[in-house]
Structure 1
Amino acid sequence: MNILIITEYFPSSEECNVKGGVEARAFYIAKNLAKNHNVYVITSWEEGLSQKDEFCGISVIRCGKQRKYSQGGSFIERLSFMNEAVKTGKKLDVDIVEGYNFITYPVAYNISKKLNIPRVATYHDVWLGGEWIKNLGFFGIFGEILERYILSKKWDKFIAVSKYTKEKLIKAGVKEKNIGVVYNGVNLEEYQKIKVPKEKNTLCYVGRLVKYKKVDDLIKSINIIKTDFPDVKLKIIGTGPEKENLGKMIKSLHLENNIEFLGFVEKHEDVLKHVKSSTIFSLPSIVEGFGMVTIESVASETPYVNSAIPPTVEITENGKGGLLFEPENVDELSLKIKMLLEDKDLYFKKQKECLELSKKYDWKKLTHDVENIYLDILGD
């Protein structure tokens, strides 16, 4: 097959230095597909990179205005990318095209119409019915309009990253037969190569610093846990609009010696080292389509304490490899963290569960599932 993947961001080399779960998925799916197929990736043109590249058997084409990595705003740059991506894609000889996020769905759709080929959308979450405004404020209304537009179009297949997302797509009017489920995954070999010692009584958070991630709840829990574990540490990896507010909270609670902002960590391997060296990983978020970092913590043999939202319950098979707490319940979050810090038998049990659960999320297996969906669509 000649396969075209459209993703807003893509790694610059085979080392896969990624900044988010979407581009990690795009890279590993593309890399494994390229072993048996011709794979093209159209992505935005980040500063310092060439417009064309080839690695891991993938032909990478970068287009639009040169830009810095950004998860929000950058409207002119994003529109430039979308426009140039459509023009570029229409010139390629491909059999199927797939979009990986909201910016790339319209691109994939327009290319498929011009070339008269099947179109696929990998879907991470559905925010219709008020979630856009709840999660992003007033400007979320534009996301609501865009999502309704995308879902109103005829797609050959949606690939949902979880059964939870699949159910939300069905509620949004997508026919069940047009939805497949392929989870996000990890490169298990990469995790096995990383050798770092565990740091005592250390927690780690990885993700954007936005309100719905509830990092403030994690900070509050550190304030509670500090009574019994004065040396408890929390490493916060990521950036976002809530950093200033979170910093003020840390100062007001006098937690400067317990909590460290590491900001944006460029190398993915370095992020994994932080996760693997931590005693516990925690994602207190109330909104996730999948929760890629949870699987990364499991693959790192670092038990988690996460909010029991539906996608997390699903991908962890109801708490294998860690503990779940009622969303936004800071007392329960604190209690579950202390349980793992205090009970060594429980901790080692959860570590063993991590090893077993991680095998389910090997990218090689998951890529085979995507390949089968493509072949089914093309009738091969």
Structure 2
Amino acid sequence: MVNGMWKKCNWRDFMKVCIVAMTGLYPLDIGGPAPVAYFLAKELNRNGIDVMMFIRADSEKNLKFKNTEEIKELKRTEIIPIDVTYNAKTFLNIQSLIYKVLEANKRFKEILKDVDVIFYNSPPVDVVLCFPFISKQSSKKQVFALHGGLFYESKNLVGKLLMQLQKNWFDKVVAVSAFSRDIALKFGFSRDKIEIISNGIDLDPIRAAEPFNLLGCPKILHVGRLAQIKGVDTLLKAFSIIIKNFPEAHLYLVGDGPERSNLEKLSDSLGIMGNTHFEGFIPPGKDVFRYYKSCDLFVMPSHKETFGITLLEAMASKIPVIVADIDGGPRELIKNGENGFLFPVGDYKILAEKIIEVFENKNLMEKFVSENYSLIEDRYTWRKIILKYMALFKTLERKN
């Protein structure tokens, strides 16, 4: 179906897309933007489109990145690494940083003549901050994807100021949800430039994943950063209630972050440390999918999510889901009582009630699983999502 639509769209004259992905490298890093850049490149390649992808990585990480099985699949993607790390030492050596900016600009100008559309998968406010201006001077079409971070979580005031200066240079803005669109509007992006294109997932590796033999019955899973905005403390408090009803229950937390130490202390004070497993960071991919396949329930207690790829992964893995009732992906994907449960943000008592209700009602669990898997197959695979990107890029290419 995709190839048929591709031929209809007359993409033979469409030569290259440049993806600028300076936040996260799939499959080495976790987080929403990273897999979007990877799967966008993969699907464009699959449909005969060449891609050039700028990434931020030192030589060691770039080598590791290029040697992953996933990246080896990108037969028509050229990876262009920019070796820069942001820390105090970087900004003390401002001369070196300026040199790297100039080198990045030089390489970008070299490839720009062969590129039809530039897609920014992260805010161009770092070493690539000149790219939008250079592209505008060359009359190239530019698309910016708003995933969230900088616009509601980050305290990077300089980055926000740079985005204010650049925002009128983008021809289109991709919002991953209605919530993401509202953030874009509030920031000052023009409504007529915004297109909602959700994140997607690849079903094949999820289907192929085999479960681990994990302790616990039942087993509860959370996948994500251990940061305050993810609300993991709410899940821990709820779990302290759950094990009174289900003494053999175990909780698995896949991910790492600045709150890990505090959360471990909280687990200890709640008396649940023996049943709680801090699994640490696990690169996105088959091992993470094995956790989904091994557990009985996925919980997303976040305070904010522009979309939530881990929620899609859980739904595709055929386990029931319970999510905080927040704008963005969770509220747009989950209809309370129909394909999952919503609970008020931070209300661990109601979360515990919902978890118990799911575990005590097998028919309800099966209903949630069936509804969600059908939803994923119908609307959220990358082979469906890429059609929207292709149509968007084609519209811009016509205007070039």
| TM-score in terms of structure 2 length | 0.83
Q: Which amino acid aligns with 1:26?
A: A
How far the C-alpha of 1:40 sits from its partner, in A, is 0.7
After the TM superposition, which residues 26-105 of structure 1 pair with which residues of structure 2 at under 5 Å, given as runs? 26-34=37-45, 35-46=47-58, 47-50=60-63, 55-65=74-84, 76=91, 84-92=103-111, 93-103=114-124
What amino acid is the match of 1:293?
Answer: T
Aligned ranges for residues 117-266 of structure 1 at < 5 Å? 117-125=140-148, 131=152, 135=153, 139-151=155-167, 153-196=168-211, 200-266=217-283
Q: 8 Å contact 2:105–2:131 — kept in the other structure? A: yes
- C-alpha distance after superposition, 1:251-299 (max 9, x if no partner): 1112111111111113521011112211111110111111111111101
Check if 1:116 corresponds to 2:139. yes
Match for residue 327 of structure 2?
310
Preserved CA contact (<8 Å) 1:120 1:155: yes
Contact 1:64 1:84 in 2 (8 A): no
CA contact (8 A) 1:98 1:108 kept: no
| Cα separation, 1, equivalents of 2:306 and 2:90 | 24
* Distance in 2, Cα, partners of 1:198 & 1:317: 31
Residue 7 of structure 2: aligned partner: none
| 8 Å CA contact retained: 1:198, 1:278 | no
Provide the C-alpha distance between the structure 2 equivalents of 1:118 and 1:73, rounded to a whole number of angstroms: 35
Amino acid at match of 1:181: I
More helix by proportion, 1 or 2? 2
The structure 1 residue matched to 2:356, chosen from 315, 338, 353, is 338
Give the Cα separation in 2 of the matches to 1:103 and 1:239.
Answer: 26
The alpha carbon displacement at 1:30 in A equals: 0.8
Among 358, 364, 373, the alignment partner of 2:383 is 364
* Contact 1:5-1:100 at 8 Å conserved across structures: yes
**2: CA distance, partners of 1:170 / 1:243:** 34
**Unaligned residue ranges in structure 1 (runs of 5+):** none
Q: Does 1:277 align with 2:289?
A: no
Q: Which of residues 26, 31, 36 is equivalent to 1:20?
A: 31
Deviations 1:331-372 (A, max 9, x none): 111111111111111111111112111111110111111111
In 1, the alpha carbon distance for the partners of 2:242 and 2:88 equals: 37
Cα displacement string for residues 143-195 of structure 1 (whole angstroms, at most 9, x for unaligned residues):
543443343x3210001111221122223322221111110000012211123
Retained in 2: the 8 A contact 1:4–1:94?
Answer: yes
For residues 102 and 360 of structure 2, the distance between their equivalents in structure 1, rounded to whole angstroms, comes to 55
CA contact (8 A) 2:339 2:369 kept: yes
**1:290-310 per-position Cα deviation (integer Å, ceiling 9, x unaligned):** 111111110111111110101
Query: In the TM superposition, what whole-angstrom CA distance separates every residue of 1:200-226 from its partner, at most 9, and x where no partner exists?
Result: 311111111111111111111111111
> Which is further off, 272-281 or 55-64?
55-64
Query: In the superposition, relative to structure 1, how do residues 277 and 102 fare at CA in structure 2: closer, same or farther (>3 Å)?
Result: same
Deviation at 1:127, TM superposition (A): 6.3
The separation in 1 between residues aligned to 2:337 and 2:89, in whole angstroms, is 38
Which residue does 2:4 correspond to in 1?
none
Identity across aligned pairs (percent)? 26
- Give the partner amino acid of 1:123: L
Superposition RMSD in Å = 2.8
Distance, in Å, in 2 between the alignment partners of 1:352 and 1:36 is 34
- The unaligned stretches of length 5 or more in structure 2 are 1-13, 67-71
Name the count of aligned residue pairs. 365
